[in-house]
Chain A
Amino acid sequence: MSSPLDDFAARLSTRLHESLDAVPVDGLPWVDAQPRAVERARRRRRFWAKASASVLAATAAVTVVIVVAQPGGRRPVTPTQPQILKVLATAAVGGTDPAELAAGGGWVFAGLWDSGQLLRLDPTTLNTTATLQVGTARTGPLSVAYGAGAAWVLNIADAGLWRVDPATMTATLKVTLPGQPSQVAVGDDAVWVTVCCTSVDDSTRQRLLRIDPATGAITGSHVVAGDGETVPLAIGPDIVVTSHNGPVLVIDPNTMNVVRTLPDLCAGCEETAGLVAGDRGMYVTSAASVVRYDPKSGHLLATSPDIPDIDAPLSVQPDGIWFSGTGRVLRLDPTSLAITAQAPVAASAYLVELAHSIYVSLQGTIDKLGPAN
């Protein structure tokens, strides 16, 4: 015997079909619709290319440094009562694009796309202590990371990877890349860079490159399927890389062989999926939630609460998974993906952690966040 709720569900289904099937849909012919659809997709990709570039790589790279700097230093998280954070310091850096951020060596580094500068900031006061002109306005720095004792910057202007001495803020190595740079991350003994559009004949080809941090020599290369100009890259136990409309590739950092290919994780998502990797899995933004996957098996391990205002950038930090939503910055438990901390900060973009403080970049400013008490 069916329950009253089942009966209601049956009536609801009938009424939904009656109501929605009556909605007029014009008969736009495919021959007209197809070019429009393709053009919309192109426009969207161009828009998101810059927006989602570099954050993931920069923050993932910083994570490696932080974990090394704080052995065994996972801070406890409170699973039920999210910690409230407040703004402890603010730096006005100008521009309309949020600054790319990286942290390490006791400094915070900010890449300013609008002015083409790399800033070194005091992590306590957020005062600018040194500046390096990397590119001209809006040609770089595109992605910033810290590791192997240096800040690493991608520059569109010369399709270059720059190694910057953090003490003197001078470029000590410049590597010309075989394509338009997308993201940089620093692993244990290599710098990882993604590039796109490696030749005129093959304008949609992306590549993952492994670079020797001492010499700048390219020691490995792997083609990444997909059609985006942005090639998100994350470093965990393995290298995880993807591209718009492409699968997620889990790559062995030593052999550069593909360990696992995961299918499209966010069908129809406008942004290239936000992607980071950590000890407890691989984290992907999936439209309205963060999802944790086992990179070896591809199995879904956990899904965060529904977060309708989620933004793509994610950051694996020692104390959890950080990301920005509209009007707030959130921290998730790395296993359960429960919300463990939040800060009511206006729409933020890039974020890094250094010495238990979170730094987020907003339009024209950088904020330092810490516990409210």
Chain B
Amino acid sequence: MAVSDDVVEPRPSRDELAAVLYHRHRAELVRLAYGLLGDRGDAEEVVQDAFAALLSRWSSLRDVHSAPSYLRTAVVNGVRGRWRRRRVRELASKTLRRDPTPTERDVVEQSVVLAAVSQLPTRKRACVLLRYYADLSEVETALVLGVSVGTVKSQTSKALIQLATLIEPEQSEVNR
């Protein structure tokens, strides 16, 4: 019997789709988390947690195309958890340090631009990285952060001015 053209291929399973998503998006997500946290180990763990959350909520996803957006949100929320725990640790040890606290190796490897970004308060840092590294729109960034579009606009604008002062202090026009 000839094989019909309209034979429907079996739908990929959840694990097969998750594996595809993992290979396609993991590196980008780890780098986004690294930009937010300044620590590669923490960044890897946050992304791993995001994929675990994705698996456990698979049935509630609207469709597989919404998975990258879900993962991005999960990573940002995971990063916020890390920020919070760092603050707890810092308060406990009475050794307040700038957040994030990159490892010595990471400091050496960090570029000027990442070092400047790491000096931003957490929400501004998230706005900048989501807008200019993840290339999200203001609306998408607002959805990921759970804030209004106006907050994204104002936080991003203030962050840009602050970064311009740090990265390009000679460009007085930007800083004016």
Interface residues of chain A, those whose CB is within 8 Å of chain B, are: 4-5, 7-9, 11-13, 15-21, 23, 25-26, 28, 30-31, 33-34, 36-38, 40-41, 44, 225, 227, 245-247, 263-264, 266-270, 286-289, 291, 300, 303, 306, 308-310, 326-327, 347
The reply to whether B22 and A19 contact each other, CB–CB distance below 8 Å, is no
In the bound complex, CA of A231 to CA of B81 (Å): 21
Given contacts A8-B160, A9-B160, A30-B19, whether A268 and B49 have CB atoms under 8 Å apart is yes
In the complex, which residues 131-176 of chain B have their Cβ closer than 8 Å to any Cβ of chain A? 131-133, 135, 146-148, 151, 157, 160-161, 163-164, 167-168, 171, 173-174
> Please, could you name 29 A-B residue pairs with CB atoms under 8 Å apart, sorted by A?
A5-B164, A7-B174, A8-B171, A12-B113, A16-B128, A18-B111, A19-B113, A20-B34, A23-B30, A23-B34, A33-B48, A44-B49, A247-B60, A266-B77, A266-B146, A267-B74, A268-B49, A268-B73, A268-B76, A268-B78, A269-B81, A270-B49, A270-B78, A286-B77, A303-B147, A308-B84, A309-B87, A326-B87, A326-B91
What is the distance, in angstroms, from B40's C-beta to the closest C-beta of chain A?
Answer: 7
The reply to whether B55 and A308 contact each other, CB–CB distance below 8 Å, is no
Classify the interface of chain B: helix, strand, loop or mixed.
helix
* Interface residue tally for chain B (C-beta within 8 Å): 68
Q: Is B119 an interface residue (CB 8 A)?
A: no
The reply to whether B48 and A37 contact each other, CB–CB distance below 8 Å, is yes
Scan B15-29; emit 1 where CB is below 8 A from any A CB, else 0: 100110011001100
Given contacts A16-B117, A266-B77, A303-B146, whether A36 and B48 have CB atoms under 8 Å apart is yes
The reply to whether A20 and B35 contact each other, CB–CB distance below 8 Å, is yes
Q: Which residues in A have their C-beta under 8 angstroms from that of B77?
A: 266-269, 286-287
The reply to whether A34 and B15 contact each other, CB–CB distance below 8 Å, is yes
Q: Which residues in B have their C-beta under 8 angstroms from that of A18?
A: 111
The reply to whether B81 and A8 contact each other, CB–CB distance below 8 Å, is no
Partner of A16, one of B40, B133, B147, B151: B133
The reply to whether B49 and A33 contact each other, CB–CB distance below 8 Å, is no
The reply to whether A30 and B22 contact each other, CB–CB distance below 8 Å, is yes
